[in-house]
Amino acid sequence: MTSPSELLSLAVDIALEAGELAHRRRTEGVTIAATKSALADIVTEADREVETLVRDRIAAARPDDGFLGEEGGAGRGSTGITWVVDPIDGTVNYAYGIPAWAVSIAAVEVADGDGEPDTATWTALAGVVYNPVVGELFRASRGGGAWLGEHRLHVNDEVGPAGALLATGFGYDPATHAAALEQQARIMPIARDIRRIGAASLDIAYVAAGRLDGYYERGLQPWDHAAATLLVTEAGGVAAGAPGGAPGREMTIVAGPGLFPRLDALIDY
Ligand code: IPD
């Protein structure tokens, strides 16, 4: 087993290289390679190319670790460490040239050694969320704090729901959209405002950085939140899912410890 800081250092190196590749491909022009579960659920050639690069770099450095990537890359390891990767989180923004997308890389310790990574039982050890367009690389290691450059991150926990700037997303399952919109209608009059940035890893990283007070979304996949939720907990915040559970598909909520229960109480499960 390697220390969280060593895993983080590898994740940072790979994220920088992956981010530069994605950024270069963006300037060369983007084509949507496929539409997956919904019109908003797309994949570009760059998503696939970047995931391959990340996977190759991890395999070269740590051949016995597991891998779980958004674009289908998966493999069990034998070390108890699995890498959970979204090569381009915010692919719709990426495809349309909106500079809010990120490479997200996490190293998690899997409870049953070489089994399937399960958000409910894994322990995140290192995480990086990198937006190369604005040059912001958020990083955290377990017990080592969350950082943006030399600046240590702390959640903002000085507001209640009334003053809170929140963010959310709508997930890809059309069956959940009506309920999600009703939820926004209920929360809007209480909060300062609600953002829909379009990249869950950045939404969550911004909570860690105190730029947003809280975030919630139904339908996230492990690669959307694995790195960013470690940023939040290392920045003094709370990241959870459906009542008592871990962040996951059913719900992901992040906020400071004071706001969290009040935000959680506003969410319809
Ligand atoms: C998506 C984005 C979006 C969120 C979706 C995610 P992708 O990730 O993070 O903001 O609302 O739930 O799946 O597909 O662009 O990597």
Chain segment 23-37, per-residue pLDDT in tens: 999 999 988 999 988
Phi, psi of 52 (to 5 degrees): -60, -45
Question: Which of these, 258, 178, 269, lies nearest to 216 by C-alpha position?
Answer: 269
Task: Please state the domain extents for the chain.
Answer: 4-152, 161-264
Average pLDDT of the residues of the chain: 94
Q: Residue 268: what pLDDT? A: 84
- Do residues 46 and 68 lie in contact, with contact meaning Cβ atoms separated by under 8 Å? no
And the tokens for 115? 């089994």
CATH architecture for the domain at 161-264: 3-Layer(aba) Sandwich (3.40)
Angle between helices 4-28 and 45-61 (to 10 degrees): 150
Establish whether residue 66 lines the binding site of ligand 1, counting it when its CB lies within 6 angstroms of any ligand atom: no
Distance 76 CA to ligand 1 centre (A): 24
* Residue with the larger pLDDT of the pair 123 and 75: 123
By most ligand atoms within 8 Å of CB, the mutation choice from 89, 96, 221 for ligand 1 is 89
Is 89 part of any known ligand binding site?
A: yes
Pair of tokens at residue 148: 């943006």
CA 2 – ligand 1 centroid, Å: 30
For the segment 196-213, the average pLDDT, to the nearest whole number, is: 98
- CA-201 nearest atom, ligand 1: 9
- How sure is the predictor about 113, in pLDDT bands with cuts at 50, 70 and 90? low
Confidence (pLDDT) at 118: 81
Atom of ligand 1 nearest to the CA of 196: 10
Assess contact for 240 and 246: CB atoms under 8 A: yes
Q: Whose CA is nearest to atom 12 of ligand 1?
A: 171
pLDDT tens, position by position, 209-242: 999 999 999 999 999 999 999 999 999 999 999 8
Expressed in angstroms and rounded, the spacing between residue 108 Cα and the centre of ligand 1 is 20
Tell me, yes or no, if the pTM score tops 0.80: yes
Which residue would you say has higher pLDDT here, 161 or 197?
197
Q: Report pLDDT digits (tens) over 177-194.
A: 998 999 999 999 999 999
Cβ–ligand 1 contact at 200 (below 6 Å): yes
CA of 200 to the centre of ligand 1 (A): 6
DSSP three-state, residue 171 = coil
The preferred substitution site among 88, 224, 250 for testing ligand 1, maximizing ligand atoms within 8 Å of CB, is: 224
Question: Is residue 244's pLDDT more than 80?
Answer: no
Six-digit token pair at 17? 């290289």
Q: Could you count the other beta carbons within 10 Å of the beta carbon of residue 124?
A: 25
Using the mean position of ligand 1's atoms as its centre, give its distance from the Cα of residue 37 in Å: 12
Contact 169 CB / ligand 1 (< 6 Å): yes
Burial class of residue 117, CB neighbours in 10 A (0-12, 13-18, 19+): buried
- Average pLDDT (127-142) is 98
Distance 215 CA to ligand 1 centre (A): 13
In this predicted structure, what is the pLDDT of residue 1? Answer: 63
CATH C-level class of 4-152: alpha beta
Matching CATH topology for 4-152 and 161-264?
A: no
Pairwise pLDDT comparison (121 vs 261), residue with the higher score: 261
Please give the pLDDT value at position 233. Answer: 98
Band (136; pLDDT cuts 50, 70, 90) = very high
86 is in an annotated binding site: yes
User: What is the pLDDT averaged over residues 76-91?
Assistant: 95
The pLDDT value recorded for residue 56 is: 97
ipTM: 0.96
pLDDT value at residue 141: 98
